[in-house]
Protein backbone atom coordinates (compact mmCIF):
# COMPACT_ATOMS: atom_id res chain seq x y z
CA UNK A 1 0.00 0.00 0.00
CA UNK A 2 1.29 3.49 -0.82
CA UNK A 3 2.08 5.93 1.95
CA UNK A 4 -1.06 8.01 2.69
CA UNK A 5 -0.85 11.72 1.91
CA UNK A 6 -2.66 13.75 4.56
CA UNK A 7 -3.76 17.31 3.87
CA UNK A 8 -5.13 19.76 6.46
CA UNK A 9 -6.63 23.07 5.40
CA UNK A 10 -5.43 25.41 8.14
CA UNK A 11 -6.78 28.56 6.49
CA UNK A 12 -9.17 28.94 3.57
CA UNK A 13 -10.13 32.61 3.45
CA UNK A 14 -9.11 35.43 1.13
CA UNK A 15 -7.39 38.77 1.78
CA UNK A 16 -9.48 39.74 4.82
CA UNK A 17 -9.90 36.91 7.34
CA UNK A 18 -13.11 36.16 9.17
CA UNK A 19 -14.13 34.27 12.28
CA UNK A 20 -14.89 31.30 10.03
CA UNK A 21 -11.89 31.45 7.71
CA UNK A 22 -8.25 32.09 8.53
CA UNK A 23 -5.70 33.32 6.04
CA UNK A 24 -4.38 30.72 3.54
CA UNK A 25 -2.25 27.83 4.79
CA UNK A 26 -2.26 24.16 3.82
CA UNK A 27 -0.38 21.45 5.69
CA UNK A 28 0.74 18.38 3.75
CA UNK A 29 1.98 15.33 5.68
CA UNK A 30 3.69 12.57 3.67
CA UNK A 31 5.81 9.97 5.43
CA UNK A 32 8.02 11.88 7.84
CA UNK A 33 7.63 15.18 5.98
CA UNK A 34 5.45 18.07 7.13
CA UNK A 35 5.21 20.80 4.51
CA UNK A 36 3.35 24.11 4.52
CA UNK A 37 1.94 25.68 1.39
CA UNK A 38 1.49 29.35 2.29
CA UNK A 39 1.60 30.63 5.85
CA UNK A 40 -1.00 33.30 6.45
CA UNK A 41 -1.74 35.11 9.69
CA UNK A 42 -2.73 32.73 12.48
CA UNK A 43 -1.13 29.63 10.96
CA UNK A 44 0.70 28.58 14.11
CA UNK A 45 -2.54 28.69 16.11
CA UNK A 46 -4.21 26.54 13.46
CA UNK A 47 -1.31 24.09 13.72
CA UNK A 48 -2.05 23.82 17.43
CA UNK A 49 -5.69 23.04 16.67
CA UNK A 50 -4.50 20.38 14.23
CA UNK A 51 -2.23 18.97 16.98
CA UNK A 52 0.90 19.36 14.84
CA UNK A 53 4.04 20.83 16.36
CA UNK A 54 5.50 23.64 14.20
CA UNK A 55 8.90 22.10 14.98
CA UNK A 56 7.99 19.33 12.51
CA UNK A 57 7.70 21.75 9.59
CA UNK A 58 10.69 21.32 7.28
CA UNK A 59 9.65 23.41 4.26
CA UNK A 60 7.33 26.29 3.49
CA UNK A 61 6.27 27.05 -0.08
CA UNK A 62 4.98 30.62 -0.46
CA UNK A 63 2.93 31.22 -3.59
CA UNK A 64 3.42 35.01 -3.51
CA UNK A 65 4.22 37.79 -1.07
CA UNK A 66 0.82 39.26 -0.35
CA UNK A 67 0.40 39.48 3.41
CA UNK A 68 -2.50 37.06 3.62
CA UNK A 69 -0.18 34.34 2.29
CA UNK A 70 2.97 34.99 4.31
CA UNK A 71 2.19 37.09 7.42
CA UNK A 72 2.24 33.98 9.61
CA UNK A 73 5.93 33.34 8.96
CA UNK A 74 7.25 36.02 11.33
CA UNK A 75 5.46 34.79 14.48
CA UNK A 76 6.14 31.20 13.45
CA UNK A 77 9.87 31.95 13.27
CA UNK A 78 9.76 33.53 16.72
CA UNK A 79 7.98 30.51 18.19
CA UNK A 80 10.54 28.17 16.62
CA UNK A 81 13.32 30.31 18.06
CA UNK A 82 11.79 30.26 21.56
CA UNK A 83 11.38 26.49 21.24
CA UNK A 84 15.15 26.27 20.55
CA UNK A 85 14.88 24.91 17.05
CA UNK A 86 18.25 23.98 15.51
CA UNK A 87 17.16 22.24 12.32
CA UNK A 88 17.20 24.50 9.23
CA UNK A 89 13.90 25.68 7.78
CA UNK A 90 13.59 25.95 4.00
CA UNK A 91 11.38 28.61 2.42
CA UNK A 92 10.58 28.61 -1.31
CA UNK A 93 8.91 31.36 -3.31
CA UNK A 94 9.36 34.17 -5.81
CA UNK A 95 12.06 36.50 -4.45
CA UNK A 96 12.20 34.35 -1.31
CA UNK A 97 15.71 35.57 -0.42
CA UNK A 98 14.62 39.21 -0.42
CA UNK A 99 11.62 38.67 1.84
CA UNK A 100 13.26 36.22 4.23
CA UNK A 101 16.23 38.56 4.68
CA UNK A 102 13.80 41.36 5.54
CA UNK A 103 11.98 39.20 8.10
CA UNK A 104 15.22 38.11 9.77
CA UNK A 105 16.36 41.75 9.98
CA UNK A 106 13.40 42.45 12.25
CA UNK A 107 14.97 40.38 15.03
CA UNK A 108 17.23 42.09 17.62
CA UNK A 109 19.15 38.97 18.57
CA UNK A 110 18.93 36.58 15.64
CA UNK A 111 16.75 33.50 15.44
CA UNK A 112 19.04 30.66 16.53
CA UNK A 113 18.55 28.47 13.46
CA UNK A 114 19.16 28.75 9.72
CA UNK A 115 16.46 29.70 7.25
CA UNK A 116 17.40 28.65 3.73
CA UNK A 117 15.61 30.71 1.08
CA UNK A 118 15.07 29.27 -2.40
CA UNK A 119 14.08 31.70 -5.16
CA UNK A 120 11.69 30.35 -7.79
CA UNK A 121 12.91 31.33 -11.24
CA UNK A 122 10.48 33.88 -12.67
CA UNK A 123 11.88 33.29 -16.18
CA UNK A 124 10.66 29.69 -16.15
CA UNK A 125 7.03 28.68 -16.54
CA UNK A 126 7.64 25.31 -14.87
CA UNK A 127 10.63 24.42 -12.69
CA UNK A 128 11.48 21.41 -10.54
CA UNK A 129 12.54 22.94 -7.24
CA UNK A 130 12.81 19.94 -4.93
CA UNK A 131 13.34 16.19 -5.21
CA UNK A 132 13.89 13.27 -2.86
CA UNK A 133 13.51 9.50 -3.20
CA UNK A 134 9.71 9.64 -2.96
CA UNK A 135 8.52 12.77 -4.77
CA UNK A 136 9.32 15.94 -6.69
CA UNK A 137 7.91 19.43 -6.21
CA UNK A 138 7.44 21.80 -9.13
CA UNK A 139 6.86 25.56 -9.21
CA UNK A 140 4.43 26.68 -11.93
CA UNK A 141 4.24 30.35 -12.83
CA UNK A 142 0.68 31.66 -12.53
CA UNK A 143 -1.19 34.88 -13.30
CA UNK A 144 -1.62 37.29 -10.40
CA UNK A 145 -1.03 40.97 -9.61
CA UNK A 146 2.49 40.23 -8.30
CA UNK A 147 5.00 37.46 -9.11
CA UNK A 148 3.28 34.22 -8.11
CA UNK A 149 3.66 30.47 -8.41
CA UNK A 150 1.50 27.43 -7.91
CA UNK A 151 3.12 24.22 -6.65
CA UNK A 152 2.70 20.59 -7.61
CA UNK A 153 3.85 17.55 -5.65
CA UNK A 154 4.40 14.62 -8.00
CA UNK A 155 5.00 11.29 -6.37
CA UNK A 156 7.49 9.04 -8.15
CA UNK A 157 6.22 5.94 -9.92
CA UNK A 158 6.95 2.67 -8.14
CA UNK A 159 7.17 -0.95 -9.19
CA UNK A 160 5.67 -3.79 -7.17
CA UNK A 161 7.26 -7.18 -7.79
CA UNK A 162 4.87 -10.05 -8.47
CA UNK A 163 6.66 -12.75 -6.48
CA UNK A 164 4.98 -15.61 -8.38
CA UNK A 165 6.07 -14.21 -11.74
CA UNK A 166 9.57 -13.52 -10.41
CA UNK A 167 9.94 -17.09 -9.15
CA UNK A 168 8.87 -18.45 -12.53
CA UNK A 169 11.92 -16.67 -13.93
CA UNK A 170 13.99 -18.14 -11.09
CA UNK A 171 14.75 -14.81 -9.45
CA UNK A 172 16.09 -14.82 -5.91
CA UNK A 173 15.30 -12.12 -3.34
CA UNK A 174 18.57 -10.33 -4.08
CA UNK A 175 17.89 -10.47 -7.82
CA UNK A 176 14.39 -9.03 -7.29
CA UNK A 177 15.98 -6.06 -5.54
CA UNK A 178 18.50 -5.60 -8.35
CA UNK A 179 15.90 -5.71 -11.10
CA UNK A 180 13.92 -2.93 -9.33
CA UNK A 181 17.08 -0.83 -9.12
CA UNK A 182 18.32 -1.46 -12.68
CA UNK A 183 15.14 -2.08 -14.66
CA UNK A 184 16.45 -5.37 -15.99
CA UNK A 185 18.73 -8.24 -15.09
CA UNK A 186 20.66 -10.86 -17.03
CA UNK A 187 20.51 -14.52 -15.95
CA UNK A 188 22.20 -17.27 -17.99
CA UNK A 189 22.39 -15.15 -21.13
CA UNK A 190 18.70 -14.21 -20.82
CA UNK A 191 17.63 -10.61 -20.12
CA UNK A 192 14.61 -10.26 -17.85
CA UNK A 193 12.91 -6.85 -17.85
CA UNK A 194 11.25 -5.29 -14.83
CA UNK A 195 7.86 -5.04 -16.54
CA UNK A 196 7.86 -8.83 -17.01
CA UNK A 197 7.80 -9.46 -13.26
CA UNK A 198 6.34 -6.29 -11.75
CA UNK A 199 3.40 -3.95 -11.95
CA UNK A 200 3.88 -0.20 -12.21
CA UNK A 201 2.04 2.11 -9.81
CA UNK A 202 1.70 5.62 -11.17
CA UNK A 203 2.60 8.22 -8.54
CA UNK A 204 -0.04 10.58 -7.23
CA UNK A 205 -0.09 14.26 -8.19
CA UNK A 206 -1.36 17.17 -6.09
CA UNK A 207 -1.42 20.79 -7.29
CA UNK A 208 -2.04 23.98 -5.32
CA UNK A 209 -2.67 27.09 -7.39
CA UNK A 210 -2.31 29.88 -4.84
CA UNK A 211 -3.91 33.12 -6.09
CA UNK A 212 -4.30 33.18 -9.84
CA UNK A 213 -6.53 33.83 -12.78
CA UNK A 214 -7.22 30.68 -14.83
CA UNK A 215 -3.80 29.57 -16.04
CA UNK A 216 -3.28 27.17 -18.95
CA UNK A 217 0.19 26.03 -17.85
CA UNK A 218 -1.09 25.09 -14.40
CA UNK A 219 -3.85 22.92 -15.84
CA UNK A 220 -1.66 21.32 -18.47
CA UNK A 221 0.79 20.27 -15.77
CA UNK A 222 -2.08 19.14 -13.54
CA UNK A 223 -3.74 16.96 -16.18
CA UNK A 224 -5.31 13.90 -14.52
CA UNK A 225 -4.06 15.06 -11.12
CA UNK A 226 -5.42 13.19 -8.12
CA UNK A 227 -6.16 16.50 -6.42
CA UNK A 228 -6.25 20.13 -7.48
CA UNK A 229 -6.56 22.76 -4.75
CA UNK A 230 -7.44 25.97 -6.56
CA UNK A 231 -8.26 29.62 -6.01
CA UNK A 232 -12.05 29.81 -5.93
CA UNK A 233 -12.40 33.33 -4.59
CA UNK A 234 -15.65 34.01 -6.41
CA UNK A 235 -18.61 31.94 -7.58
CA UNK A 236 -18.86 33.55 -11.01
CA UNK A 237 -16.31 35.37 -13.25
CA UNK A 238 -15.54 38.86 -11.98
CA UNK A 239 -14.03 42.00 -13.48
CA UNK A 240 -10.70 41.43 -15.23
CA UNK A 241 -8.84 43.71 -12.83
CA UNK A 242 -9.40 41.15 -10.06
CA UNK A 243 -6.62 38.60 -10.60
CA UNK A 244 -8.43 35.62 -9.12
CA UNK A 245 -10.52 32.72 -10.37
CA UNK A 246 -14.18 31.83 -10.17
CA UNK A 247 -15.59 28.46 -9.22
CA UNK A 248 -17.36 28.11 -12.56
CA UNK A 249 -14.21 28.79 -14.61
CA UNK A 250 -12.10 26.33 -12.64
CA UNK A 251 -14.77 23.62 -12.75
CA UNK A 252 -14.83 23.80 -16.58
CA UNK A 253 -11.05 23.49 -16.77
CA UNK A 254 -10.97 20.66 -14.21
CA UNK A 255 -13.42 18.72 -16.35
CA UNK A 256 -11.45 19.43 -19.52
CA UNK A 257 -8.14 18.30 -17.99
CA UNK A 258 -9.63 15.24 -16.27
CA UNK A 259 -8.79 16.29 -12.72
CA UNK A 260 -9.90 13.55 -10.33
CA UNK A 261 -10.88 15.83 -7.45
CA UNK A 262 -11.17 19.62 -7.14
CA UNK A 263 -11.12 21.53 -3.87
CA UNK A 264 -11.79 25.27 -4.02
CA UNK A 265 -10.26 27.56 -1.41
CA UNK A 266 -9.43 31.25 -0.78
CA UNK A 267 -13.11 32.23 -0.57
CA UNK A 268 -14.13 35.87 -0.44
CA UNK A 269 -15.69 36.93 2.86
CA UNK A 270 -18.78 38.03 0.91
CA UNK A 271 -19.94 34.40 1.06
CA UNK A 272 -21.56 33.55 4.39
CA UNK A 273 -21.94 29.89 3.36
CA UNK A 274 -20.23 27.70 0.77
CA UNK A 275 -23.46 27.05 -1.14
CA UNK A 276 -23.07 29.63 -3.89
CA UNK A 277 -19.47 28.72 -4.71
CA UNK A 278 -20.09 24.98 -4.47
CA UNK A 279 -23.21 25.05 -6.64
CA UNK A 280 -21.47 27.12 -9.33
CA UNK A 281 -18.71 24.50 -9.61
CA UNK A 282 -20.57 21.26 -8.89
CA UNK A 283 -23.12 21.85 -11.64
CA UNK A 284 -20.17 21.61 -14.06
CA UNK A 285 -17.70 19.29 -12.29
CA UNK A 286 -19.30 16.91 -9.81
CA UNK A 287 -16.24 15.87 -7.80
CA UNK A 288 -15.81 19.33 -6.26
CA UNK A 289 -15.59 20.39 -2.64
CA UNK A 290 -15.19 23.79 -1.02
CA UNK A 291 -12.52 23.83 1.67
CA UNK A 292 -13.26 24.79 5.26
CA UNK A 293 -10.77 25.62 7.99
CA UNK A 294 -9.44 22.45 9.66
CA UNK A 295 -10.89 20.21 6.94
CA UNK A 296 -8.77 17.09 6.47
CA UNK A 297 -8.47 14.72 3.54
CA UNK A 298 -6.34 11.63 2.99
CA UNK A 299 -5.14 10.37 -0.39
CA UNK A 300 -4.48 6.63 -0.20
DSSP state of 246: B
Query: Are 229 and 129 a contacting pair, CB within 8 Å?
Result: no
> Which part of the chain has CATH 3.60.15.10?
5-157+202-299
What does the pLDDT read at residue 141?
98
Digit-coded pLDDT (tens) for 195-233:
888 898 999 999 999 999 999 999 999 999 999 999 999
pLDDT at 109: 84
Contacts of 198 (CB under 8 A, 6+ apart): 159, 160, 161, 162, 165, 166, 179, 180
C-beta separation of 106 from 74 below 8 A? yes
Report the sign of the C-alpha dihedral through residues 17, 217, 117, 228, in that order.
positive
pLDDT in tens, 144-202: 999 999 999 999 999 888 888 888 888 888 888 888 888 898 887 888 898 888 898 99
Angle between helices 275-282 and 247-256 (to 10 degrees): 30
Query: What number of other Cβ atoms are within 10 A of residue 125's Cβ?
Result: 17
Which candidate, 193, 204, 192, places its Cα nearest to that of 157? 204
**What is the C-alpha separation between 86 and 25, in angstroms, rounded?**
23
Does the structure show a pLDDT above 90 at 242? no
C-alpha closest to that of 64 among 128, 127, 137, 139 = 139
For residue 168, the model assigns a pLDDT of 82
3-state secondary structure at position 201: strand
Given the residues 68, 211, 231, 293, select the one marked as catalytic: 68
Q: Name the least confident of 72-76, 183-187, 274-278.
A: 183-187
Q: Which residues, including other chains, have CB under 8 Å from residue 74's CB and lie 6 or more apart? A: 103, 106
Active site residue 275: no
Q: Is 225:207 a contact under the CB 8 Å cutoff?
A: yes
Q: Say which residues have a Cβ less than 8 Å from residue 121's Cβ, sequence separation at least 6.
A: 127, 139
Angle at 150 between CA 145 and CA 153, to 5 degrees: 175
CA–CA distance, 192 with 113 (Å, rounded to integer) = 50
**CA 221, 205, 238 angle in degrees (round to 5)?**
55
pTM score: 0.92
Q: Which CATH number fits domain 5-157+202-299: 3.60.15.10, 3.40.640.10, 2.30.30.110, 2.40.50.140?
A: 3.60.15.10
Alpha carbons 20 and 291: distance in angstroms, whole number = 11
Amino acid sequence: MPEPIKITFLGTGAAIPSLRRNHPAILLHYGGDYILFDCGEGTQLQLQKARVSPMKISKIFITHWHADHFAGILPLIESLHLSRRKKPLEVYGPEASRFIDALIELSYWGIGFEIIAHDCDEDKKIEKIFENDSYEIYAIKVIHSVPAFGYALKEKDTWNIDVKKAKKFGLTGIQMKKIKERGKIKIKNKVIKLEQVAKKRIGRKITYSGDTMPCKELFEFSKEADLLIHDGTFAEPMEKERPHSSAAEIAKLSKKYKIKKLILTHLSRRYKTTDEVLNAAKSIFKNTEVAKDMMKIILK
